Amino acid sequence: MKTGMAENRDPRQVIIVAAKGLFARFGLGKTTMEDIARASNKAKSTLYYYFKSKEDVFTSVIMLEIAGLKAAIGQAVRSEDDPGDRFRVFVETRLKYFSKKTDQYISIREDYHKHHGLINDLLDDYSQWEIATIKRILEYGSAKGVFDVHDFVGVSRGLFLALKGLEYPWVVDISKNELEKSTAILLDILLKGVSRN
Amino acid sequence: MKTGMAENRDPRQVIIVAAKGLFARFGLGKTTMEDIARASNKAKSTLYYYFKSKEDVFTSVIMLEIAGLKAAIGQAVRSEDDPGDRFRVFVETRLKYFSKKTDQYISIREDYHKHHGLINDLLDDYSQWEIATIKRILEYGSAKGVFDVHDFVGVSRGLFLALKGLEYPWVVDISKNELEKSTAILLDILLKGVSRN
Amino acid sequence: MKTGMAENRDPRQVIIVAAKGLFARFGLGKTTMEDIARASNKAKSTLYYYFKSKEDVFTSVIMLEIAGLKAAIGQAVRSEDDPGDRFRVFVETRLKYFSKKTDQYISIREDYHKHHGLINDLLDDYSQWEIATIKRILEYGSAKGVFDVHDFVGVSRGLFLALKGLEYPWVVDISKNELEKSTAILLDILLKGVSRN
Amino acid sequence: MKTGMAENRDPRQVIIVAAKGLFARFGLGKTTMEDIARASNKAKSTLYYYFKSKEDVFTSVIMLEIAGLKAAIGQAVRSEDDPGDRFRVFVETRLKYFSKKTDQYISIREDYHKHHGLINDLLDDYSQWEIATIKRILEYGSAKGVFDVHDFVGVSRGLFLALKGLEYPWVVDISKNELEKSTAILLDILLKGVSRN
DNA sequence: AATGAATGAGTGTTCATTCAT
DNA sequence: AATGAATGAACACTCATTCAT
């Protein structure tokens, strides 16, 4: 039933997929409707048949992306029993997703402000979901006596913030290998700290 | 003799200050030369008397900002003796600087790619400086027997990444208070970890 | 069915025609896209729907012009049998074309240097075509025993250069009549010389 | 008494000399007051102390140039006795002058129209002088029985036009050597013609 | 369902010119 | 006599969006 042709699919989906790649590489601002039209093999005005505006395309892309992230992370986390591994797998899955594209439009700041109405909610929602997920891991680990946490909310937020840094590997033009090494070290720090106990 | 008027100052400085505010709020892409001209009470073409291009204005702003950051952090760090406090004060000074402006243009991704030539160098340089500073703190702490670190380079990078997350308090619309609390918790995690030893 | 309205025609053609008049009168540099837009009754941005840039409009105009010139000259030349008349008709057709517009953008020097990339090729090509055409006339005349030429290439070039001067009737604000008279005299000189044999 | 420093001279002269070089290379339109200021080692506004406008600088340059041309040509012509040589030397001196600079601002068309007021007169005047000079040579040659000319005015104009072509060697990207060869051939044609007598 | 054509509102940048000193 | 500072007017070009078909 499935053909290899992307063109046979739901045109909305075709556009979203094309736009996803462009947004990921160039961000919202730098990606033009012309670009999206070309990439999705449609006329520019056709995009407006399926989407209200460029912003509408963008939010659709983000929504899809977030759904994918949530599913992937949720599944990966549940596959581990050890709380430390659960956290580790959470971070790694997240990283795999983020590092797939050099740029992560989810984290584009400029766009965030230009279009804070819609995007803000999406991102906030996703962040809250991440924090909640971390919190669940912490509770799970505490129940198992592996983690030593009392302020679950605060610590979840702290870990969340620490992991946010992983979204910006570009700053020091790090290679995939080095990023993985840095991630492992960061995980280690977060679990054990740097102080001599 | 001093008047309160910004207009009496060095026009280059006046422009930079005006631009700083705009860049911080709207990013490089969304801030127009028209905006900067209006904000600095000058004709648009006057900006080109003092700066070669918009990018040049931007770079000047960033350079100033980075210089301020380096000075503030360096001084704060040196004022503490305890390695843990040294690290803490490093993070807090950094945070104070970043949270002063809702948006931190230093971390604007889109612009980063559009103009990676000039900006890249500045940011890389600053990031390397931060990592080096962290490394120095770690070495100091290790020498004092407070920290338990061997891979200084790797751990510096890990901590650097973790702190990067603090540049994005906007993700969860956090208040200043909550951000400070989160920072304290993050610091605690980084120093002691979450695992029961 | 045909209306007299230029507006019903192919828009690309409408723009080219409008631009042709402007370029002829004011040259490339002085003619703005705004001007062309106004003259062709289109929005400025519409021009960019049909042409990549101002230079692109210009090149299109020139190409059209050159094609017309080549056709007109080629046909006229072939219509004469006597070699002297062939040369005469060559010059006259050329002149008719050039004198139709006060200014001949083909010969605008400033533009030539500003945009030498594209225009250079066109002009070179046309000049070479003219030289070749002259050479063919000379060969034809020599075969018929009318012309006394041996260095065909050199003499073709020399005649070409002499005729170039006709593109600049403006220098001495000459009337159409006087220009024609001067042309006839020039032709006579080129054929018979000024020296008493 | 003379110092080697151009700066010690009459500032007006210094500016004119600097502008001359720039106009010759880039034409009036492409040469900015900024360029002239830099080249004459003066502040941009200083130019306006000595000249009313850019156009004023330009006409001053042209006037100087024309004076030089007239002097050089006049002198060279008078140095020859043979009428043919007189004409030959006229052309060669002219050519030497024109070919010294790849571009000859005197012949820039675009500028001609942009500023036809002043420049027109200058150029017309110079052209008339050239035509008159040619006429004098023809009369001299006729009196000596070397030239076979009756319509002195018409033939002067024809020769003038033919020589105008030499101002545009750029069209066929000709080398100095080839230009000289072409000039010799053109001279030969003008004196003897191409027809078998 | 899909699009070619068209456009308004901007964008960064240039430059001749002015003027207070 | 000389100039640093400032500017208005223009310029080529971009792009999200609209609309008739």
Tens digits of per-residue pLDDT, D187-197? 999 988 777 76
Chain A residues near residue B141 by CB distance under 8 angstroms: 194
Nearby residues of C104 by Cβ (< 8 Å), 6 or more positions away: C24, C98, C167, D109
The DSSP secondary-structure symbol of A147 reads B
B39: Cβ under 7 Å from strand E? no
In the A/B pair of chains, how many CB contacts fall below 8 A?
A: 192
DSSP string covering C133-184: HHHHHHHHHHHTT-B--S-HHHHHHHHHHHHHGGG-GGGTT--HHHHHHHHH
If pLDDT is split at 50, 70 and 90, which confidence band does A171 have?
Answer: low
Residue C102 lies in a domain: yes
> For C179-186, what is the mean pLDDT?
86
Domain presence at residue B1: no
Q: Which residue has the higher pLDDT, D106 or D174?
A: D174
Mean pLDDT is highest, among A60-74, B131-145, B160-174, C167-181, for B131-145
Q: Which residue of A has its CA nearest to B153?
A: A182
User: How much is the pLDDT for D127?
Assistant: 86
Locate A122 and state its tokens. Answer: 């999406």
Chains A and C physically touch (3 or more Cβ atom pairs below 8 Å): no
D160 vs C contacts (CB less than 8 Å): 165, 172
**C84, containing H or E segment:** helix C83-99
pLDDT at A107: 41
Q: How far is B30 from chain A (nearest CA, A)?
A: 8
Strand E contacted by D34 CB (< 7 A)? yes
Which pLDDT score is estimated for B47? 97
Cα–Cα dist B151/B142, whole Å: 11
pLDDT at D123 over 90: no
pLDDT at C163 over 70: yes
Contact partners of C by the rule of 3+ C-beta pairs under 8 A? D
Among C104, C109, C146, whose Cβ lies nearest the Cβ of D195? C146
Local confidence band at B60 (pLDDT 50, 70, 90 cut-offs) = very high
- pLDDT band of residue D24 (cuts 50, 70, 90) is confident
Q: Encode pLDDT of D54-84 as tens digits.
A: 989 988 998 888 898 899 999 999 999 999 9
Model pLDDT, residue C95 = 81
* % of chain B residues with pLDDT over 70: 78
Encoded tokens for B148: 């338990």
Task: Give the highest mean pLDDT range of B112-121, B184-193, D97-106.
Answer: B184-193
Q: How far is the CA of D48 from the C1' of E19 (A)?
A: 12
D97: amino acid identity, one letter? Y
Q: Report which of D123, B75, D23 is spatially closest to residue C110, judged by C-alpha positions.
A: D23
**Greater pLDDT, C86 or A2:** C86
Highest mean pLDDT pick, A96-100, B149-153, D21-25, D125-129: B149-153
Whole-Å CA distances, C73 to C159, C160, D188: 16, 14, 26
**Which residues, at least 6 apart from C138, have a Cβ–Cβ distance to it below 8 Å?**
C83, C147, C149, C152, C155, C156, C159, D194
Q: Which nucleotide is nearest to B45 (CA to C1')?
A: F7
CA distance D112 to chain C (A): 9
C-alpha to C-alpha distance for C31 and C24, rounded to whole angstroms: 9
Looking at residue C107, what is its pLDDT? 41
CB contact under 8 A, C197 and D197: yes
Residue B103: inside a domain: yes
Residue C60: CB atoms within 10 Å: 18
Give per-residue pLDDT as tens, D80-100: 999 999 999 999 998 887 655
Q: Which residue is nearest to nucleotide F18 (CA to C1')?
A: A45
> Tens digit of pLDDT for each residue in A71-114?
999 999 999 999 999 999 999 998 887 654 434 454 444 545 45
**Range D123-145 average pLDDT:** 91
Between D121 and D84, the more confident residue is D84
Binned at pLDDT 50, 70 and 90, residue D4 comes out as very low
Q: How confident is the model at residue A153 (pLDDT cuts 50, 70, 90)?
A: very high
* Helix, strand, or coil (residue B147): strand
pLDDT at C130 over 60: yes
pLDDT band at A119 (very low <50, low <70, confident <90, very high): low
Query: Which nucleotide minimizes the distance between its C1' and the CA of B29?
Result: E11
The confidence band for A116, taking pLDDT boundaries of 50, 70 and 90, is low
A52 nearest nucleotide via C1' and CA: F17
pLDDT at C15 over 90: yes
Asked if residue B131 has pLDDT above 50, the reply is yes
Chain D partners within 8 Å of C119 (Cβ) = none
What is the spatial distance between Cα A6 and Cα A28, in angstroms, rounded to a whole number?
23
The arithmetic mean of pLDDT across residues A31-57, rounded, is 95
Residue B133 token pair: 């500073």
**D touches C, CB cut-off 8 Å, minimum 3 pairs:** yes
d(CA B7, CA B41): 8
Per-residue confidence (pLDDT) for residue C108, from 0 to 100: 47
Residue D1 pLDDT more than 50?
no
The amino acid present at B81, given as its one-letter code, is D
For residues C193 and C187, give the distance between their C-alpha atoms in angstroms, rounded to a whole number.
9
**Using CB atoms within 10 A of its CB, is residue D105 exposed (0-12), middle (13-18) or buried (19+)?**
buried
Residue A164 located in a structural domain: yes
Confidence of residue B172 (pLDDT cuts 50, 70, 90): low
* Domain contains D197: no
pLDDT of residue A51: 96
Number of Cβ within 10 Å of residue D17's Cβ equals: 15
Query: Per-residue pLDDT for B169 more than 80?
Result: no
Question: Is A197 among the domain residues?
Answer: no
Which tokens go with A165? 């840094």
pLDDT recorded at residue C169: 54
Give Dmax (Cα) for chain D: 64
Residue B64 belongs to some domain of the structure: yes
- Nearest Cα to Cα of residue A187 among A168, A161, A159, A167: A159
Percent of chain D with pLDDT strictly greater than 90: 45
Tokens of D26: 């880039």
Of all residues in chain D, the one with the smallest CA distance to C122 is D171
Chain Cα centroid distance, residue C84:
21
* Helix A176-192 / helix A83-100 crossing angle, nearest 10 deg: 150
User: What would the mean pLDDT of C68-75 be, rounded to a whole number?
Assistant: 92
Residues 6+ apart with CB under 8 A from B49: none
Average pLDDT, chain A: 82
Mean pLDDT on D153-178: 77
Indicate whether D39 pLDDT > 90.
Answer: yes
The distance from CA B158 to its chain's CA centroid, rounded to whole angstroms, is 18
Write out the DSSP string of B47-101. Answer: HHHH-SSHHHHHHHHHHHHHHHHHHHHHHHHHT--SHHHHHHHHHHHHHHHHHTS
CA distance B44 to B141: 52
How large is the average pLDDT for residues D32-40?
Answer: 96
Test A127 with B172 for CB contact under 8 angstroms: yes
Residue C115 has pLDDT above 80, yes or no: no
Cross-chain Cβ contact A161/B166 below 8 Å: yes
Instruction: Please report the beta strands in chain D, taking only residues with DSSP state E, as ranges in sequence order.
Output: none
pLDDT digits (tens, 9 = 90+) for B101-120: 444 554 445 555 555 556 66
Q: Is residue D100 within 8 Å of residue D113, measured between CB atoms?
A: no
Identify residue D176 by its one-letter amino acid code.
Answer: K
Q: How many domains does chain C divide into?
A: 1
Nearest to A158 among B30, B170, B186 (CB): B186
Contacting residues for A2 by C-beta, under 8 A, at least 6 apart: none
Quote the pLDDT of residue D103. 45
> Do residues D154 and C172 lie in contact, with contact meaning Cβ atoms separated by under 8 Å?
no
Mean pLDDT of chain B: 82
Task: Say yes or no to pLDDT of C99 above 70.
Answer: no
Integer CA distances (angstroms), C59 to B1, C53, C123, D170, in order? 62, 10, 11, 19
CA pair distance D130, A181, nearest whole angstrom: 83
CA pair distance C131, A111, nearest whole angstrom: 60
Closest listed residue to residue B61, CA positions, set B36, B38, B44: B36
d(CA B82, CA A136): 35
CATH code where residue D83 lies: 1.10.357.10
Hey, which residues does A147 pair with through a beta bridge?
B195
Q: How far apart are CA A195 and CA B190, in angstroms?
A: 8
Instruction: Give the pLDDT confidence score for residue B49 in this predicted structure.
Output: 96
Confirm whether B63 is domain-assigned: yes
Residue D124 structural domain: 6-192
Instruction: Give the DSSP letter string of A6-17.
Output: GGGS-HHHHHHH
Q: What pLDDT shows up at residue D120? A: 67
Q: Is A146 helix (H, G, I), strand (E, B) or coil?
A: coil
- Residue D48 confidence (pLDDT): 97
Q: Are D191 and D141 in contact (CB under 8 A)?
A: no
CA of C50: nearest nucleotide by C1' is: E5
Q: Which residue is nearest to nucleotide F19 (CA to C1')?
A: A45
pLDDT at B7: 44
Residue C118: what residue type? Answer: L
Tokens (6 digits) for A7: 């063109």
* Mean pLDDT to the nearest integer, A133-141: 95
Place of tokens 């006579």: C188
Cα of A29 to nearest chain B Cα, Å: 7
Tell me whether residues C196 and D146 touch, CB distance under 8 A: yes
- What is the C-alpha to C-alpha distance for residues D39 and D20, in angstroms, rounded to an integer? 10
Give distance CA B52 / C1' F17 (Å).
33
CB contact set of A173 (below 8 Å; sequence gap of 6+): B124
Residues A24-37, mean pLDDT to the nearest whole number: 86
pLDDT band per the 50, 70, 90 thresholds, residue B99: low
Q: Which residues in chain D have their CB less than 8 angstroms from residue C116's CB?
A: none
User: Taking all residues of chain D, what is their mean pLDDT, rounded to a whole number?
Assistant: 82
- CA-wise closest residue to A30 among B57, B25, B109, B102: B109
pLDDT of residue A126: 86
Confidence of residue D130 (pLDDT cuts 50, 70, 90): very high
pLDDT reported for residue B46: 97
- Are D190 and C188 an interchain contact pair (Cβ–Cβ within 8 Å)? no
- Min distance C47 CA to chain D CA atoms (Å): 23
Question: To the nearest whole percent, how much of chain A has pLDDT over 90?
Answer: 47
Which positions on chain E have an atom < 7 Å from some protein CB? 1-20
Q: B80-94, C81-95, D177-191: lowest mean pLDDT where?
A: D177-191
The shortest C-alpha distance from B62 to chain A (Å) reads 15
Q: Which residues have a Cβ under 8 Å from the Cβ of C166 and sit 6 or more positions away?
A: C91, C94, C95, C98, C179, C183, C186, D161
The residue of chain C nearest to residue D125, with distances taken between CA atoms, is: C172
Identify the CA nearest to A154 among candidates B179, C133, B154.
B179
The pLDDT, as a whole number, for residue D102 is 41
C-alpha to C-alpha distances, B39 to A63, B5, B15, D111, nearest whole angstrom: 37, 14, 8, 39
| Interface mutation target, options D194, D196, D197, chain C, most CBs of C under 10 Å | D194
